[in-house]
Chain A
Amino acid sequence: MTFSTNATADATASRSRHLVQPGGVASAGCGTAWDDWFTGTRHAEIWLSLAWYDVLLRYRRSLLGPVWLTLSMGALIMGMGPLYATLFNVQLSQFFPHLTLGIIFWSYLAGVVGEGCSTFISAASYLKQAPYSRSVFSWRIIARHTIYLLHHLVLFIPVAAWARVTPSPNILLILPAVAIVLINVHALTLTLGFLSARFRDVPQIVSSALQLAMFLTPVFWLPDALPTRARFVLYNPFAAWLELLRAPLLGHAPAWIHWQTAAIISVINVAIAILMYQRCRHRVVYWV
């Protein structure tokens, strides 16, 4: 069955009428895609609890618990900072905050997008239990990685203090930046989640692409070091999201071009996610 015939089958399914069941997120298949999405999104208590337990259970038997998140990231940054500053021949005080935020935000973006592939595959036991809203499972992954991110971000405080990063009003730009990134990762986890459930090659493709993207994004290197003819790599979506998140915390405003890139990518991303949500939310239970 090709993908298009699948979509036809789904269109038939969504034409069938469903009355809304009262109560809970167990109401997918009822109403429109929007209702389904909104029901899942509204019940923040559910996905926050699930995400919280994901973290809790993962570290339950370890002595230090989630502090390990902070420690292992700290070790990575402490090791790489001096090394790369020497390699690139830049001042550590200028480079260290850049690298710290680069690695922290990259691990967030790559983590969410990479795991976004298993949004629905890993939720199979829930999907087969009751018609839960599909958006719950995307928010669960995003919430979990955001908990990781907060554990990592703590590391920036001593680094910023050491490197004398001066806070400026630009820090407020982090708010629209976070909003843009959340919209994009939510859209991506849905799109990749549906695609991966149906085509099991997608997670492999995504993980290869992420590896490449890490080098094409100024995670480790300074964008200024790039020769003009190679500046096009800064237009990749990851570079834009990373810069939007990083610049405000370093005290400057992200370049206008990154807002533009991010805006265009967001529109495309959300449009695809809406399309996928409408077409695949019913069928996904047959794929997992």
Chain B
Amino acid sequence: MALLDLVNVRVDFPVYGTHSHSLKQTLAAAATGGRIGTDTGVAVVQALRDITITLKDGDRLGIVGHNGSGKSTLLRVLTGVYPPTAGIRRSEGSISSLIDPALGIEADATGKENIYLRGLVMGWSRARVKSVFDDVCQFSGLGDYLGLPVRTYSTGMLMRLAFSIATCIRCDIIVMDEWLSVGDAEFQANAENRLKRIVSEAGILVVATHSWGLVQRECNKAVELSHGSIVRFENLPPSV
């Protein structure tokens, strides 16, 4: 049973360390779309305003919007990372965040140690980590490199590892920033299948993207964000 619910959510970002309060901010506001207020002395970016979204089992939500419209912030509010400044967030079910899978990878630890550490940090038991360990090792296709420190990896290898760990377990809710495509042609095909599988097993999918085609293909609901507000909401027909 998966459920994700936002009611009248607002998110204000305090931005500390900015000392100029005039022209630069006005320009930034025009360029990025966030509303920057200074009513409290510190620059505050109103990243999201009046966001109400209700997602139930089977919902596939696509979020579109230009850069700085609040897509990523909204994703992080949905995963619970950013607690709303005002409004209500409710969720039921385990959440898997594929927003930036490489975040929190320890560069000096080996690939294998990273699998183990990440598993533990995600709150899995030792037994559960063990049960997925071989699968992650095999799927990443990194072979002997898994015994080397992650800092020696190329960007592509790092993404393979991060992707393999992040997708090794089924979750009730999946939150993604862009449809992940990692690695070379061969890995991409495997990754695509794996992603499709965990997405199809998940109760709820939320994906932020610039591609309207992707939204039409994968989603049954779509919202468009602009300046931190929802400007359009659509129920999409099932794709053929």
Listed in ascending order, the chain A residues whose CB lies under 8 Å from chain B are 1-2, 5-6, 9, 12-14, 16-19, 21-26, 28-30, 43, 45-46, 49-50, 53, 57, 60, 125-132, 198, 200, 282-283, 285-287
Contact = CB atoms under 8 A, between A and B. Distances in A.
Contact of A130 (B13, B41, B79, B120): B79
B113 interface: yes
Given A24-B122, A25-B123, A125 B104 contact: yes
B168 to A, nearest CB: 15
Contact of B88 (A17, A60, A285): A17
A286 B97 contact: no
A129 B104 contact: yes
Interface residues of B, number: 43
B124 A29 contact: no
Given A12-B86, A23-B94, A129-B81, A53 B109 contact: yes
Contacts, number: 116
Interface of B: 12-14, 16-17, 40-42, 44, 76, 79-95, 97, 100, 103-104, 106, 108-109, 113, 116-117, 120-124, 126
Nearest to B107: A57
Contact of B81 (A2, A19, A130): A130
A16 B87 contact: yes
B79 A1 contact: no
A42 B79 CA distance: 23
Contact of B117 (A5, A23, A25, A49): A49
A129 B12 CA distance: 19
Contact of A19 (B90, B121, B124): B90
23 contacts: A2-B40, A9-B85, A13-B84, A16-B86, A16-B87, A16-B88, A16-B89, A17-B88, A17-B90, A18-B80, A24-B122, A45-B126, A49-B116, A49-B117, A126-B104, A126-B121, A127-B81, A129-B103, A130-B80, A131-B83, A283-B83, A285-B81, A286-B13
